[in-house]
Amino acid sequence: MAGVYPQAALVMAAVIGMTAFTPWRSPLVDFSRRQLALIAIAAVATVVGVAPFLLRANQFGPVFTLAEARNIPTFLYEQRGAVFEPDGSVDLLCQKRIGIFAAECSGLLDPWLALLVLVNFAGPIFLFARMFRPGPPFGSRSPLPLFLLVSSLMCAALSAAVMFRLHVPNRYASVLRLLPYLATLPVLFDWIRSRLSPQALIERYHGRTLLIGTCIVMTVCVLAVSIVHTSNKSPANRELISAIRALPKDAVVGGFVDDLDFSPVLTQRSTLFSRELSVAYEKGYYQPVYRRMEIVRDIVLATDAIVLLDRMQYLPIDCLIVAKETLVHPRVPTSFRGFFGADLLDMETQAAQNGPTLVARLAQGCTTGVYRDVVMLSMRCLLQEATHDLDRQRTRGAINKDRSAAAAATTDPSSVGSTPAPSTTQP
């Protein structure tokens, strides 16, 4: 776990440490060699697994503070990365990004929140309380769900206290979604065993097969519900992915297109930015990414060649990928709008009032491919055409300036009388 997702490793390491706490028997804390060895091995494994992440994270730091985050548009408007409420407050219980119940409730006054607390907390407490029953072991009992609950909440509270230095709270408390299954199913199975007494089934081969098969099916169902993420995405425009993969290996692509999330992995080509890799936690990587997004925004909304040529000084890009809709209406696609502030709408309105954008005017001659609803444009072609467009503007400006100067000269009052009047003397 430490080598894959450090947050999960920290939670589980704390659980292993808590297993030394045994209040249902004497002594209260288990200091046996076996227990201490288990805790020591878990601690070493966690440190070894997490250390590479910590060492590599230094090159991207420092992380944003909570005060800094309030001034970053992505934390306010972006659907995936928003952590603040509209009034700037932080909801550590129900907010989608950082709340430990991750959008499953809508605040402290939500009746559903009480049910969530009951479902998630009652099972672990019930199983833990059974550990104190006297006599031989009977029925389902375990301290682990409660240890898991306590560890998750402790790590979430620590993360909330130092946001964003330990990522976000719900990354530690996401295990709460497992607790209803981990804590309730054993109790349910125990109730079925005690009430239905499947002894008759166990004595028969077909009965044993049925019981084993039922357990396997239920286990698979639990894993499917609690582990498999149905929101995982795949490229919607595979033609675009194939086209990017066919570019030279040193090619750089960019644009406001969702499928570029998959480009670095599936195409092995450099991508300026993507929504998946634009969650703002550390300044070292987010600020350059955001700057690239601002430049591409200015390029697709520019109506003047000077703007495009100026922005391209700071952006190494070979292919610009633009949605067809953006060429018709100068507007940043919905999925990327949250990365920019409230002034984005004013910029789009001004671009629409000034006529077709420069990219829209030059797109037909610079298109290298059309893939469903997106167009791939050659940036070299756009630069050349923008340069020619600028030269034409300057030429027209010079001609108009000369014409204006000539017109001014013919109407200048100071020039009146300087030309000899025609003679009126008759021969």
| Predicted confidence band of residue 372 (pLDDT cuts 50, 70, 90) | very high
Average pLDDT over residues 303-325: 90
pLDDT at 32: 92
Question: Would you say 295 and 277 are in contact if contact means Cβ atoms under 8 Å apart?
Answer: no
Asked whether residue 407 carries a pLDDT value surpassing 70, the answer given is no
Asked whether residue 423 carries a pLDDT value surpassing 60, the answer given is no
Question: Would you say 377 and 389 are in contact if contact means Cβ atoms under 8 Å apart?
Answer: no
Asked whether residue 368 carries a pLDDT value surpassing 70, the answer given is yes
Question: Would you say 362 and 386 are in contact if contact means Cβ atoms under 8 Å apart?
Answer: yes
- Dump pLDDT digits (tens) for 51-67: 887 777 667 778 888 88
CA pair distance 345, 43, nearest whole angstrom: 51
Asked whether residue 410 carries a pLDDT value surpassing 70, the answer given is no
**Better-scored residue on pLDDT, 349 or 415:** 349
- Dump pLDDT digits (tens) for 206-249: 777 887 888 888 888 777 766 555 556 788 899 999 999 999 99
Average pLDDT over residues 121-148: 83
The CB density around residue 289, as the number of other CB atoms within 10 Å, is 17
| Predicted confidence band of residue 194 (pLDDT cuts 50, 70, 90) | low
Asked whether residue 409 carries a pLDDT value surpassing 60, the answer given is no
Average pLDDT over residues 193-200: 63
125's CB contacts (< 8 A; 6+ apart) are 146
pLDDT at 242: 95
CA distances from 72 to 64, 96, 272, 323 (A): 10, 18, 20, 26
Cis peptide before 136 (omega within 30 of 0): no
Residue holding tokens 């730091």? 61
What percentage of the chain exceeds 90 in pLDDT? 37
| Predicted confidence band of residue 376 (pLDDT cuts 50, 70, 90) | very high
Question: pTM of the prediction?
Answer: 0.73
pLDDT at 361: 92
